[in-house]
Chain A
């Protein structure tokens, strides 16, 4: 089913914004239940050390302290180690990690004890009274150090530091390379980065000592997953865990996992008998929230002289942290799984190797593995074009997937019009006059260039059974309930989480569209596992609008049918002869014969007599569980105009255009917001962000003075051009849009820089591009 016109597709302002912009939102730190304590965690100053002695006596005696726990204490109060929900390397070793370190600390910032006190300052005072003796051990922070034959082992029962291997393969790779006209090789490196939200992660946990219930407020993207994992770890039945979600100040994937500090807060509440709040401060968020992106990728590509890519092989090294995050190796596997991107490459063989290092766990960050995969396949296209003397866009076109559905090495692409999207982007560049601008700049001696990247994105992450078969211990369906109350107003219940992206507005638009009611008659409710419908996985993987939206659409469509049946009874007409407009049901073509949704609501709940048909159940409520048969592939093209100061290596972005297709758009303004936010993070990843470590393993980036996020001053104006190719297997035709903006930005920026520096022959194979590195490349090029 596809939809056109109406509230779906309307650029309506977000219902969330009034509260957010007037300071009426309630974030995790605004929650102060009576008697609440605040927790602080003692963190290792060493990248790798044995804990020889840990004495908390003085801390426990400090005035204002209610509870102190060590890693061993927490281990004794949980049923199992921290769960890994995605196993991609069956039989491979798994890290055994408890919420706090027990015998060894494995990275700078690794928590080893925690205090709950009357306030955070007192808790931090008490941390200083904990007496720890460490025996420092040699640390490994780079891939090469970790893989060295004599490397110190992080996990002493492992044979080495390899955390798992997986393979992504399709077709006959040997034959492809044996028959290739040309083979190109390259190595790519991506720095460690993370999804830094404006609001840090937090939890307010209340353990009821009489009923053994855990009531936890968590600013999480995955309330149902968190409830399941709390239950597993704490040895509770699921009904004894309630997870509630306040307003969230940004998620970006880093708020989707199940963190040890959430368990620590629950344990501290259990030990102290009081509610306990743990909120990362900004400083510790650099070590307490998952890192991402860091990979080394070696690839070889086989091609024919006409630019047809016939084979791709290589290795994706995931430079993981010391322990697995909730999702383990999966972000790195995803890089390999979608390394062919929008291109029909028939033969593929990619090894995925996860390697542990003395750094914080590696987890989800907007884009998951896709930005790296995109950087590789777009570099390959450009390199091949250069090598063969072809136009890179011709190489793109020659290799685009054109027949759908298309079986890529892992995913089935449902639909797409890639060549049209490329044209849309190039037209936008033409209209913007970039070529003239570049010519003028070059005539004046400046170095300006244009870069492109084409991406596709696996969105609407599902279906449940297939993701289970891929090793995921969680589902991908979405449950929704839609109600009309006795005043005719609509409430949508969803398991999806509102974290600033506008999902409540989007789902309200879907329901309003399906029911033909005014948008402001719809309220969306979410955020409490005691009452919210179930969502598999959570608000992640670009699935909320597509999968959650389809669930709401189906439920609302059924509810509409019930409304029409009741109205048909009133009018003694056929439902087929009725229409709903603006919340009023009327007989088509018969002015004056109408009944409001309020009247139908009243009959459904309070005064059924004479209105509700005898065979119709009271209430107006429909529930839907929607599990798509496939993912939905969105796609887009990014073009960047950049200039480079060849004396300093500084890059300035002057223009940024995106052509994008996420199927049926529910609200183009929200889609644009998603694309712009993602693009800003792509800019950060391409030019600024790097979690750096020195040779001994010490973390060099501990604040936003060292870890540079893109500021308003470095983000250029965006121009966005939409096209819509509906997902024909998803009700409404929706595809995901949440991660699109971040995927192609890095490659497009790199290509713009390469174009600007064409005279120096600079090639960008690692991110971020920093001025000192780029200057060195320019100088090397000038000497050649």
Chain B
């Protein structure tokens, strides 16, 4: 199909972009999700504002925070030595986001704002308590990751707000991460994926983050599972209880690739695997 007619505006400044959004435009960044939707006429904006040339790119460490410009290409973030050193879970998760050709064009902010419930980055940012910066007509505001994802393809961004950067508090240097993703083919969207970050002191878990993609209308944190883990050594019994608690946190749906019950079960399997990877066992 061919897209329905729309006007195209290339934003030269963030203010121009926000102004266009306020008049009903949709933002085009890397185009990896929006363009297929336009072509299928699932989205029919009157105006598309191209934000891809705005200077919202780059990755830097600001004290104990990793700051990612929203328009940083996925591939640039993936190959950034700063990301790999500071937040290795994010670097590894990025290798699962589509294929390289998609990552060359797609942007970090685009993936977040698109808010596919099975996407990797929203879950990773949720796991790491990232903060999203949005710019609207009234100025700038910050939204915590836990408040950001509202439903499938729905976020806390107002229609006239543009995501400008993502701030990720650095995990402590002793934190270890684990990631387990199940997809039908390599680099497909996940059926279910689990992302963990764990800090151990003398083999006992002092801090744990577990986020799940593809098993609920939004990425979710398995808070009860995290709580079960804190203060425990990772014995098989603890692992089994944590995995079941993570599965209990899900609210999956059936689709053509897998029934809901399978996604729930896989959450437990993948939680075990991701935690085992994190603690190296």
Residues of A at the B interface (CB closer than 8 Å) are 119-121, 124-125, 281, 283-284, 647-648, 650, 688, 690, 692, 700-701, 705-706, 708, 710-711, 713-714, 770-772, 775
Query: Do the beta carbons of B186 and A125 come within 8 Å of each other?
Result: no
Query: Do the beta carbons of A124 and B1 come within 8 Å of each other?
Result: yes
Query: Do the beta carbons of A125 and B5 come within 8 Å of each other?
Result: yes
Q: Looking across the interface, which residue of chain A has its beta carbon closest to that of B272?
A: A647
Bound-state CA distance A553–B259 (Å) is: 56
Question: A465 CB to closest chain B CB, in angstroms?
Answer: 46
3 shortest A-B CB distances, which residue pairs?
A121-B2, A713-B186, A772-B262
Q: Looking across the interface, which residue of chain A has its beta carbon closest to that of B4?
A: A125
Residues of B at the A interface (CB closer than 8 Å) are 1-5, 40-41, 182, 184-189, 191, 256-259, 262, 265-266, 269
Query: Do the beta carbons of B269 and A647 come within 8 Å of each other?
Result: yes
Bound-state CA distance A770–B189 (Å) is: 16
On chain A, the residues within 8 Å of B265 by CB distance are 775
Q: A688-B184, A714-B186 are in contact. List 11 more A-B contacts (CB 8 A).
A: A281-B1, A283-B1, A647-B269, A648-B269, A650-B182, A708-B184, A708-B188, A710-B185, A714-B185, A770-B257, A771-B182
Question: B192 CB to closest chain A CB, in angstroms?
Answer: 9
Secondary structure type dominating chain B contacts: loop
Query: Do the beta carbons of A121 and B182 come within 8 Å of each other?
Result: no
With A648-B269, A700-B256, A771-B258 as contacts: A124 and B182 at CB distance below 8 Å: no
Question: B16 CB to closest chain A CB, in angstroms?
Answer: 27
Query: Do the beta carbons of A772 and B184 come within 8 Å of each other?
Result: no
Bound-state CA distance A190–B1 (Å) is: 31
Residue from the list A120, A688, A692, A706 in contact with B185, Cβ < 8 A: A688
Query: Do the beta carbons of B2 and A648 come within 8 Å of each other?
Result: no
Bound-state CA distance A46–B224 (Å) is: 45
Question: B96 CB to closest chain A CB, in angstroms?
Answer: 12
On chain A, the residues within 8 Å of B5 by CB distance are 121, 125
On chain A, the residues within 8 Å of B1 by CB distance are 124, 281, 283-284
Question: B212 CB to closest chain A CB, in angstroms?
Answer: 15
Q: Looking across the interface, which residue of chain A has its beta carbon closest to that of B36?
A: A703
Residue from the list A125, A281, A701 in contact with B256, Cβ < 8 A: A701
Query: Do the beta carbons of A692 and B262 come within 8 Å of each other?
Result: no
On chain B, the residues within 8 Å of A714 by CB distance are 185-186
Question: A394 CB to closest chain B CB, in angstroms?
Answer: 37
Q: Looking across the interface, which residue of chain A has its beta carbon closest to that of B187?
A: A713
Q: Looking across the interface, which residue of chain B has its beta carbon closest to that of A649?
A: B262
Bound-state CA distance A692–B265 (Å) is: 23
With A648-B182, A648-B269 as contacts: A772 and B2 at CB distance below 8 Å: no
Query: Do the beta carbons of A771 and B262 come within 8 Å of each other?
Result: yes
Residue from the list A283, A705, A775 in contact with B262, Cβ < 8 A: A775
Q: Looking across the interface, which residue of chain B has its beta carbon closest to that of A647?
A: B269
Bound-state CA distance A692–B266 (Å) is: 22
With A121-B2, A772-B259 as contacts: A648 and B266 at CB distance below 8 Å: yes
Query: Do the beta carbons of A121 and B262 come within 8 Å of each other?
Result: no
Query: Do the beta carbons of A711 and B2 come within 8 Å of each other?
Result: no
Question: B32 CB to closest chain A CB, in angstroms?
Answer: 12
Question: B239 CB to closest chain A CB, in angstroms?
Answer: 13
On chain A, the residues within 8 Å of B191 by CB distance are 771
23 A-B contacts (beta carbon < 8 Å) = A121-B5, A124-B1, A124-B41, A125-B4, A125-B5, A281-B1, A284-B1, A647-B269, A648-B182, A688-B184, A688-B185, A706-B256, A706-B257, A708-B184, A711-B185, A713-B186, A713-B187, A714-B185, A770-B257, A770-B258, A771-B184, A771-B262, A772-B259
Q: Looking across the interface, which residue of chain B has its beta carbon closest to that of A702?
A: B40
On chain A, the residues within 8 Å of B2 by CB distance are 119-121, 124
Among B3, B4, B189, B262, chain A packs the most CB atoms within 10 A around the CB of B262
Query: Do the beta carbons of A283 and B40 come within 8 Å of each other?
Result: yes
Residue from the list B4, B182, B185 in contact with A708, Cβ < 8 A: B185
Bound-state CA distance A705–B184 (Å) is: 11
Query: Do the beta carbons of A713 and B185 come within 8 Å of each other?
Result: yes
Query: Do the beta carbons of B186 and A711 come within 8 Å of each other?
Result: yes
Bound-state CA distance A284–B40 (Å) is: 11
Bound-state CA distance A708–B184 (Å) is: 8
On chain A, the residues within 8 Å of B182 by CB distance are 648, 650, 771
Bound-state CA distance A125–B4 (Å) is: 7
Bound-state CA distance A771–B259 (Å) is: 11
Question: B75 CB to closest chain A CB, in angstroms?
Answer: 18
On chain A, the residues within 8 Å of B266 by CB distance are 648
Question: A114 CB to closest chain B CB, in angstroms?
Answer: 15
Query: Do the beta carbons of B189 and A705 come within 8 Å of each other?
Result: yes
On chain A, the residues within 8 Å of B40 by CB distance are 283
Among B4, B256, B265, chain A packs the most CB atoms within 10 A around the CB of B256
Q: Looking across the interface, which residue of chain B has its beta carbon closest to that of A713?
A: B186
Bound-state CA distance A705–B41 (Å) is: 17
On chain B, the residues within 8 Å of A120 by CB distance are 2
Question: A466 CB to closest chain B CB, in angstroms?
Answer: 43
Question: A606 CB to closest chain B CB, in angstroms?
Answer: 54
Question: B42 CB to closest chain A CB, in angstroms?
Answer: 11
On chain A, the residues within 8 Å of B188 by CB distance are 708
Query: Do the beta carbons of B3 and A121 come within 8 Å of each other?
Result: yes
Bound-state CA distance A775–B3 (Å) is: 41
Bound-state CA distance A415–B184 (Å) is: 41
Q: Looking across the interface, which residue of chain A has its beta carbon closest to that of B259?
A: A772
Bound-state CA distance A648–B191 (Å) is: 11
On chain A, the residues within 8 Å of B4 by CB distance are 121, 124-125
On chain B, the residues within 8 Å of A283 by CB distance are 1, 40
Bound-state CA distance A363–B147 (Å) is: 51
Q: Looking across the interface, which residue of chain B has its beta carbon closest to that of A694?
A: B256
Among A281, A648, A710, A713, chain B packs the most CB atoms within 10 A around the CB of A648
On chain B, the residues within 8 Å of A700 by CB distance are 256
Q: Looking across the interface, which residue of chain A has its beta carbon closest to that of B265?
A: A775
Question: B244 CB to closest chain A CB, in angstroms?
Answer: 14
Question: A730 CB to closest chain B CB, in angstroms?
Answer: 40
Bound-state CA distance A700–B185 (Å) is: 19
On chain B, the residues within 8 Å of A771 by CB distance are 182, 184, 191, 258, 262
Bound-state CA distance A701–B258 (Å) is: 13
Question: A39 CB to closest chain B CB, in angstroms?
Answer: 13
On chain A, the residues within 8 Å of B259 by CB distance are 772
Query: Do the beta carbons of A692 and B256 come within 8 Å of each other?
Result: yes
Bound-state CA distance A772–B189 (Å) is: 16
Bound-state CA distance A281–B3 (Å) is: 12
Question: A534 CB to closest chain B CB, in angstroms?
Answer: 38
On chain A, the residues within 8 Å of B262 by CB distance are 771-772, 775
Bound-state CA distance A152–B3 (Å) is: 37
On chain B, the residues within 8 Å of A711 by CB distance are 185-186
